[in-house]
Structure 1
């Protein structure tokens, strides 16, 4: 098995050279640069940053170029690079309550304080190609005054005690674990689950969220609020005695509102699902928030009847880097394993034929025993 791999070094080198040649494409055309990918494919860059657990738009653009547009390969590159970086500590919790949105919409209230802010979105575009060389709709038509106060929809509901509290007593007592440094253990607390969902594959979470809405789960929510904007990241520096601002990053936040009819210990109210992702990642944040609420079934004494409500199933299969490695390892040599199974199948077939002959002698119409 390993002899074949060692003997294939020249073939592997040639494969790398061919990959680079095909990835370059027509040499008469200008090569795509990382700046172009970063500037013109922001949604794709956001996904690679989110699932790669590293906020660096230029590096994500480079990863996409090196991976020739393969998102999962680019995510793997980001995570691999991330492991080489020094760790200085943990930043303070990001405050999104006063996030000045570039985009802010709600499906629960039409005339909410601060108004709807469409921002840049595909939601209202025709699914048609623009003519080559055009830039599409004028972005100025979707802008509004960012200085207007925009309280959260969940806070408006909370003022009337119509939605569960943002945090339960004792919920923030312990420091959340870090899934990038500690292996996942089940059951997980919500903070760890949200970490796993943030790193999870967008398509997988989208499918799970869709399954819940179709009845394979208990979550069919309203989009309470979706915001896209920049927040400041701060690091507590013990030697200085105060927090130090590190810069601003763009994030997408989603809060889903789901009906809860009440129980013997809790009144009827709305409950929350939460999603947060780097950059412009609305679909990811929305899917994440639906799945987050579905995974809170135990908190509300709801029956677990569907995969989206099973924490170990969701978290254990949402990581696209692990999934890719497990699937793609099937391309590696398995000669010894296959030969063993081939010998087994041949032996079983031979034994079946012998039993068949024995049955035919005694009872031509009989069935062959297993």
Structure 2
């Protein structure tokens, strides 16, 4: 047993060394710096921060480098590191109405108050490979930016609410549960669901959101507003007796406007889905909003159409890519004893089956 353990340790050490070698790649090629990853792979950095539940672009860049570009592995690293950090307190809820928007669009109103700000987006590109990027030192066109000021960007939802045709969002002073400290239970409230969706796997949520649009839930949605920008974060300092601004975070926020024919308790009106995630992650924010709306069927008095996106326990229990990865990848680890037990069982079953056949003959 001792020899087997020592042999296993040597094999693992060699695997780690080989991994480091593969991570570095060809030594003739310059090594990636964290600044390069942070600045030039920002969408990957944003995803790692969002699903890792930690807003720190430098640490996210480090995790991406360490994980060789495997974003789920990078998210795992960030989550693991996050558990070691002390918690000094809680910030106030951010006010996205104060957002300084780099991108702010509405698919429902052309002339939205505050204007449409297209911002940095792939939406209007031709999806053709740009071989200029393969040339070292290629010139970068300087954009004339038009960032919306924080006092110029009222939420589109306020226009619909003024007409009383958009359902009011319920307000509560109850402190939301923190799913990073307390496990989820079912049924869950909307705040808990939105937390889980915000750090859920983008690909999984994208598939669910797409399914709602194809008819696997009642979800005919318009993007009422999508905004991306920076929001100040405030925290109360007990020693001072008042709150101060401790920094700002970049967020993507999406509010969808959905048809609602009414129920026994609610008149016909529009309802909404909501998504809020770290960084520029608009696809994720839209997906979260669509899935959020699908999960609201019960509180709105709608029928359950049997769509998987309406199954709260299924969605929230399977959207976390770290839990999914851990359970999926554990099957590649040694299961020698379990397999040998099943092997013996199958052999006995086969032997008994052949004996029965012989007796019948």
Per the normalisation by structure 2, the TM-score is 0.94
Q: Distance in 2 between matches of 1:271 and 1:123?
A: 26
The 5 A counterparts of 1:112-151 are 112-130=112-130, 131=132, 132-133=134-135, 138=141, 140=143, 143-144=145-146, 146-147=148-149, 149-151=152-154
The C-alpha deviation readout for 1:62-115, integer Å capped at 9, x for no partner, is 000000001111001101111111101110000001312100111111122222
SS of the residue aligned with 2:17?
A: helix
Counterpart position of 1:172: 172
What root-mean-square deviation, in Å, do the aligned CA atoms of Structure 1 and Structure 2 show? 1.8
Further displaced range: 19-28 or 171-180: 171-180
SS of the residue aligned with 2:148?
A: coil
SS of the residue aligned with 1:125?
A: coil
The C-alpha deviation readout for 1:152-206, integer Å capped at 9, x for no partner, is 111111110110113x2xx413110111111111111111111111111111111
The C-alpha deviation readout for 1:22-67, integer Å capped at 9, x for no partner, is 1111101110011000000111000000000000001000000000
Q: Distance in 2 between matches of 1:260 and 1:138?
A: 45
Distance change >3 Å, CA 281–CA 97, structure 1 → 2: same
Structure 1: runs of 5+ lacking an equivalent:
362-370
Distance change >3 Å, CA 145–CA 235, structure 1 → 2: closer
Further displaced range: 128-137 or 6-15: 128-137
Task: Determine if the alignment matches structure 1 residue 338 to structure 2 residue 348.
Answer: no
Q: CA deviation at 1:135?
A: 6.2
Q: Distance in 2 between matches of 1:215 and 1:15?
A: 47
The C-alpha deviation readout for 1:281-326, integer Å capped at 9, x for no partner, is 0011110111111111111112221111111111101111111110
Q: Distance in 2 between matches of 1:103 and 1:110?
A: 15
Distance change >3 Å, CA 145–CA 39, structure 1 → 2: closer
Q: CA deviation at 1:357?
A: 2.8
Q: Distance in 2 between matches of 1:256 and 1:118?
A: 18
Distance change >3 Å, CA 217–CA 115, structure 1 → 2: same
The 5 A counterparts of 1:285-296 are 285-296=285-296
Asked if 2 retains the 8 angstrom alpha-carbon contact of 1:120 and 1:139, the reply is no
What stretches of structure 1 move > 6 A for 4+ residues in a row? 134-137
SS of the residue aligned with 1:146?
A: coil
Asked if 2 retains the 8 angstrom alpha-carbon contact of 1:94 and 1:233, the reply is yes
Q: Distance in 2 between matches of 1:245 and 1:259?
A: 39
Aligned residues: 356
Structure 2: runs of 5+ lacking an equivalent:
none
Distance change >3 Å, CA 6–CA 328, structure 1 → 2: farther
